[in-house]
Amino acid sequence: MTNQNNSRRDFLKNSALITAAAAFPNILHGRHAGEKVKLACIGIGNQGGSDVMSLFNTGLAEIVALCDVDMGAPQTLKVLEKFPNVPRFQDFRKMFDQMGNQIEAVAIGVPDHSHFPITMMALGLGKHVFVEKPMARTFQEIELMMAAAKKHPKLVTQMGNQGHSEANFFQFKAWKEAGIIKDVTSMTAHMNSPRRWHGWDPNIKNFPPAEPIPSTLDWDIWQGVAQTHDYQKDFVNGQWRCWFDYGLGALGDWGAHIMDTAHEFLELGLPTEINMLRADGHNAFFYPMSSTIQFKFPKRKDMPAMDITWYDGLNNLPAVPQNYGTTELDPNIPPASNGKIQPAKLNPGKIIYGKDLTFKGGSHGSTLSIIGDAAKDIKLPEVMKSPSNHYANFLKGCMGQEQTRSRFEIAGPLSQVFALGVLAQRLNAHLAFDRNTKQITNNALANKLLAGPEPRKGWEQYYKI
């Protein structure tokens, strides 16, 4: 391997690194029967730590390296105790420099803003990639990740929306193919559970004041490509998701678990309009306390134009059909002035409105049900059981045994929908989007923000393919 400085400076310019898959034939091609995937895990606390254990528990992975910018912090201890003899790193670049020829695949469970550079380096070095949802922070970063995956077609990719390998995926596919889900014109997607961690006032005028950096944390690497800020406890350990600079809010977090199957099987692609219908507590720093966002999608093949309306916030719930039932609701459902039921509490999920049928469903792998009595007259098709959970699907993909279900060509456009919604939230603006040119046509600032701010000095190389 090249030394650390050269590998950073020449990353994706050096043809030896770009063709790294060919350089390690024993790892990437000549797999022996029963040989496990040699997996490096980047981000081993919180959700990343859960991913480490889930991948290990498939029995298909050998954990060969652990990397976390806060190595030794309380949230990392469970994984460290489980794998006491596995090499540890705080800098993913050093990990690749020192162990690149021992790594076949990576699992990336870090904050949204750091998905991109790690993924791009891994693909450039010939590694299969599992990355948590959403794929990246900006529209253009996702575009580059898809392009990198396309440039390396032998490499396997998977985004971590785990329900994409569970019952909801196979049911939606079967019902769509059988013509049960058809002529869909609208869908509501809702996440009204608590998801705000910090208590900052939306009227703040500056980022929160600096605090001492914990001794275990490498704050410089944690910031990655993002703009430099002083350390604050309310930037890390899940709180990052609330800040525009670091995360994609509730939409990027839960949208990938709620909208994914409709997006894929209804072939939605990218929207033509994004409308902000509500933005309580809008400010320049973090996501609104409640948001309602309408995405408009055009006709596709024989499918009519369709809207998806996203609701988040504790006090921001969609109306539901009168015969919705109580399966997903609190039993105490007060009446609404518009004649529709307004639930007192609504679990994360979706309502899908077709021409003849209306469906309701939850999040992740939750299956759909048909609202009302129409289901009794419909012959439902048999739905296959999942041959593998999302983690096994990725590892079997690395082994050449399965095709990953949430590979970048599928997960990328879905994540770009979220990136566009986030721009509408950030600017509290209506956006018109050209699906062909992939440009925002009515707002110059929003169009510029498709690429996000300039990366921090020293992190520019990841934006080249």
* CATH number for the domain harbouring residue 18: 3.40.50.720
Co-location of 277 and 317 in the same domain? yes
* Residue 236 confidence (pLDDT): 95
Co-location of 152 and 193 in the same domain? no
Q: Give Cβ neighbours of residue 19 (< 8 Å, ≥ 6 apart).
A: 126
Asked if residues 162 and 404 have their Cβ atoms less than 8 Å apart, the reply is no
Tokens of residue 374, six digits: 């129409």
Q: Give the CA distances from residue 150 to residues 63, 314, 415, in Å, rounded to whole numbers and listed in that order.
A: 27, 40, 17
CA distance 223 to 246: 9
The whole domain housing 141 covers: 4-164+391-408
Q: Give Cβ neighbours of residue 395 (< 8 Å, ≥ 6 apart).
A: 37, 39, 55, 58, 60, 61, 105
Asked if residues 7 and 96 have their Cβ atoms less than 8 Å apart, the reply is yes
Handedness of CA 313, 322, 363, 263 (dihedral sign): negative
Co-location of 20 and 83 in the same domain? yes
* Residue 442 confidence (pLDDT): 98
Residue 13's identity, in one-letter code, is K
- The count of structural domains within the chain is 2
CA distance 114 to 110: 6
Co-location of 133 and 282 in the same domain? no
Instruction: Name the residue among 14, 98, 17, 108 with its Cα closest to residue 55.
Output: 108
Residue 462 in domain:
no
Residues of the chain predicted below pLDDT 50: 1-29
Co-location of 61 and 181 in the same domain? no
Co-location of 377 and 401 in the same domain? no
Co-location of 221 and 317 in the same domain? yes
Residue 137 in domain:
yes
Residue 260 in domain:
yes
CA distance 74 to 122: 27
Co-location of 234 and 338 in the same domain? yes
Co-location of 195 and 309 in the same domain? yes
Tokens of residue 236, six digits: 């890390």
Residue 249 in domain:
yes
* Residue 2 confidence (pLDDT): 41
Residue 151 in domain:
yes
Three-state DSSP class for residue 17? helix
Q: How many CB atoms lie within 10 A of CB 316?
A: 18
Residue 280's identity, in one-letter code, is D
Residue 453 in domain:
no
Co-location of 92 and 189 in the same domain? no
Co-location of 126 and 262 in the same domain? no
Residue 215 in domain:
yes
Residue 131 in domain:
yes
Co-location of 188 and 283 in the same domain? yes
